[in-house]
Every structure is written in C-alpha cells, then in structure tokens.
A and B are shown apart, each in its own frame.
Chain A
Amino acid sequence: MSHIIFDDKRIELDDGQTVLSALLDSGYEIPNSCRAGACQSCMMQAVEGDIPDGAQQGLKDTHKAQGFFLACSCTPVTPLQITPLNSADSRITATVIEHNEIRTGILQLRMKPEQTIDYRAGQFINIYKDDNLSRSYSLASVTELDDFLELHIRRIEDGIVSSWLHDEIKIGDSLQIQDASGDCFYIPGTPEEKILLAGTGTGLAPLIGIARDALQQNHSGEIHLIHGAKQIDDLYMHQSLIDMAKQFTNFHYHASVLQADKAVDPVSTDSIDKLILEIATEASEWKSYLCGDVDIVNSLKKKLFLAGASMSNIYTDPFISATS
C-alpha cells in the first residue's frame, strides 16, 4: 500500500488503486473522461516522488519533463505528491533592466527576477498590470546563458497591457510576474534530430530561445528557423540571426517576406508554408516548433501533419489575443 499527498492531505491507496480513483473516492472533483490513458483529461503534475511506468504513456516529452502524468493510469508504488495542473500561483517581482523598441511596435524587455525562476526558453510567463489583469509573453532568454528574462512585446492596438509596457514602464521599474509554463521548449536527449522552428511576428521570441537553448546543449542535427513577415520592415533581429547562422554551422535562418522587393538569401518571397515544406521534405523526420499568430500556427500544424509529421512531434505556442 502506498499513498499520495494532494491538497496538503495524505490519501491512502488500496493495492492497485489509481490516483484518479483514490481522489474521486475522497470526494475531489477531478476532470476525467476515458479512464484508459487516452483522452488526457485527467493530466496532473507530480511535485515529489517517482511516477510509475505507464502513467506517462502517450504524453509529449515536454509534458513528461515537467512531471505531468495521467491520474487514471497511475498506480504509485511509492509515495507521490501531486497537484492539479497550473495550480502554482506564485507571483514574483522582477526589475526591468532593458527597455528597447527594437523595431517599430516591438519592445525588447529584459528583467531580473528577485528569485531564480525555473523555466525553459520558449515557455511563457504572465505579467500582471494589476491583480486581475495579466498577459502571457514567451521567453527568448535561456536559463544557462542569460542572467535575465527576455520578452518581445508587440504593441497591440488598444492593448491595455502592451501599451502600458511600451509607454509607461521604464528601466528600474518592478513588475509582477508568474512562473513559467507551456510545453513548447527544447528537450535534450536526441541531439541528431532535425528541428524546424517557424512562426510570425513576435513568435520569433520563443523560436530564438529554443534555437539558442538547443545549440547551447550541443544539438548537432540541423536546425532551421523560418520567420514570416509581410514586409521587410516587419523582420527584427535579422542581423543577429544571420550572425548566429555564421557561428553555428548546423543553424540555418530563413525569412519569408511576402512583399519583399527582392529575394536575396536569407530573404525569400515564398510563403512560410511553402518554405517549411521545402525544408522539411520528409516531414516525419522533423521535430517542429510553431509559434506566433494562432491561425498561422494551426495552418502550419495541419500542413506538417498531413505531410507526415507525427502530432507528438509538433510543439506549438499559439498567441491568442486577449479581448478586454
């Protein structure tokens, strides 16, 4: 017999009893559906203890790395402390150390958190303007390389939080942020794998973060980053990416600029969907990360999937505009 710790309580498990069944028996309302390890609606997170074999079957690598498991398929043999997903409500103060408009409408914001936060490049954090108003932004910084957090914030027309960050926040100000979450990040362990990173607008922030993270972990397979834009002026960090491609022989940068006057490498006038399918010719061999505008992310996801990529090898960070 083993037990779980949930909601600060110790719950005993009968032999062979699943975590889901024990929680339901104790009166907790836990979302669940198929109870067969398929639908993933009962996914929870282990904060301490060993997750038994089988409780993570079918989950994405990035979920496994965060200790996520399926309560319906989890029969612990040793004590396990668990929480529901996204329950961690730990706000942290961070101080702004850089505030640059790196291109019209795009703010590069760097800040130092008061305490270390545990994150992987490509995950997102929430910034709170006040107790009830927050927005999520994805991380371009890399834990092992940067002693600050970096975000790229696009000015949204009538956007309360983005306008505030652009116009009112300055170096030295304190911001309230929340721990990183999200499952769009680099997973070490398969250094020879081919990686495709594609997106539009400030989707570049997580893409750059994931690329730098992969390279600093000595990823040896090809990495292609494709940034899509309407006009040449919409590109940013263009020169840094060109320099990065010179520095790392396995890193390649492509810009898809639909309305560019001329297509000179790395700029192409082909659409981003055309470019990704040209690069990932055998789609099943690639791991893809798609970030930025939600419609573009979904359309690229579908194209890659239909071209043969496995859904479990496609990671996405769709930006959903909040309406307020």
Chain B
Amino acid sequence: MSSLFERIGGEAAVNAAVDIFYRKVLSDDRVNEFFDGVDMEQQINKQKGFLTMAFGGPNNYTGKDMREGHKHLVARGLNDSHVDAIVELLGATLSELGVAADDIQAVADIANSVRDDVLNK
C-alpha cells in the first residue's frame, strides 16, 4: 500500500499546491493579516515545508520549531479559528487538485496534530 505522500503525488504535488494554497491564504481576510509584510519568496518556501509535512512527506520539524516559529503570531492573536481556516484552505486546495476525500482528511489530521505546538498551548 502506497504512502499518503506518494498517493498525493509527492514533491511535484507540493510544488503544484503551494501557489494555489498561498493565494487562498493571502486572499482570505480571516488569516491574511498574519502574512502582511512577510517576504513572499521565503514564505513560499516555508509553505512548501509545511505542505510536505502535512502531506505525510519527510520533514524534520520539531514541536519546538513550531512553537518558536509562531510565537510572535500568537502574541498578535493567532488562535484556533485561524488554524481552522488554514486547514479548510488546505482542504480546498487539495480538492481543486483532485485529491480523494479520505486523503484530504488524513492531511487535515496531520495539520491538526501540530495545532497545540503552533498555538503554543
């Protein structure tokens, strides 16, 4: 049985998804304020890292990375509703790319598994 990452399409799927996903994020008033003024190029690379992880691919993220990386955003009010929005946009991206519903749920589960670290709970 192939892995989730393989079923979604691996690194190529990450590259295909990242523009669509980031465009959704920047266009969504629930979350785009957190992305104001960031370097888009660097952000795209971070998003690729995030998508690779969420798609079940190889990654070296630790809970500490997640906490450190989002601390300043939590201070600005990042909360569960924003994580919900991101997970929703991620699902919409994958469904646009024709990924099966079961696999989208599996991706959402992985994304949700880092929620507490992201929110520094």
Which positions in A face B, CB cutoff 8 Å? 33-41, 57-58, 298, 301-302, 305-306, 308, 310-312, 316
* B interface residues with partner A (beta carbon < 8 Å): 11, 14-15, 18-19, 22-23, 26-27, 40-41, 44-46, 48-49, 51-53, 57-61
A-B contact count (CB 8 A): 62
Q: Are A36 and B59 in contact (CB under 8 A)?
A: yes
* 15 A/B residue pairs, CB under 8 Å, sorted by A: A34-B48, A34-B58, A34-B61, A36-B52, A36-B59, A38-B48, A39-B45, A39-B46, A39-B49, A58-B15, A298-B40, A302-B40, A306-B23, A306-B26, A310-B19
Give chain B residues whose Cβ lies under 8 Å from the Cβ of A41.
Answer: 45
Residue of B22, B40, B46, B58 near A36 (CB, 8 A) is: B58
B44 to chain A: closest CB distance in Å? 5
A58 to B60 alpha-carbon distance, docked (Å): 19
Instruction: State how many angstroms separate the Cβ of B100 from the closest Cβ of chain A.
Output: 23
- Using Cβ atoms and an 8 Å threshold, which residues of chain B touch A311? 18-19, 22, 40-41, 44
Contact pick for B58, options A35, A58, A312, CB 8 Å: A35
Find out whether the CB atom of B11 lies under 8 angstroms from the CB atom of A37: yes
Contact B11 A58 (CB under 8 A): yes
Q: Are A301 and B23 in contact (CB under 8 A)?
A: no
Residues of A contacting B40 with CB < 8 Å?
298, 301-302, 305, 311
Specify the chain A residue showing the minimal Cβ separation from B15.
Answer: A58
Contacts of B59 in A (CB 8 A): 34-36, 38
Residue in A closest to B44 when the chains form the complex, CB atoms: A311
Residues in A neighbouring B52, C-beta threshold 8 A? 34, 36, 38
Are A38 and B23 closer than 8 Å at their CB atoms? no
Indicate the member of A38, A39, A58, A298 with the most B CB atoms within 10 Å.
A38
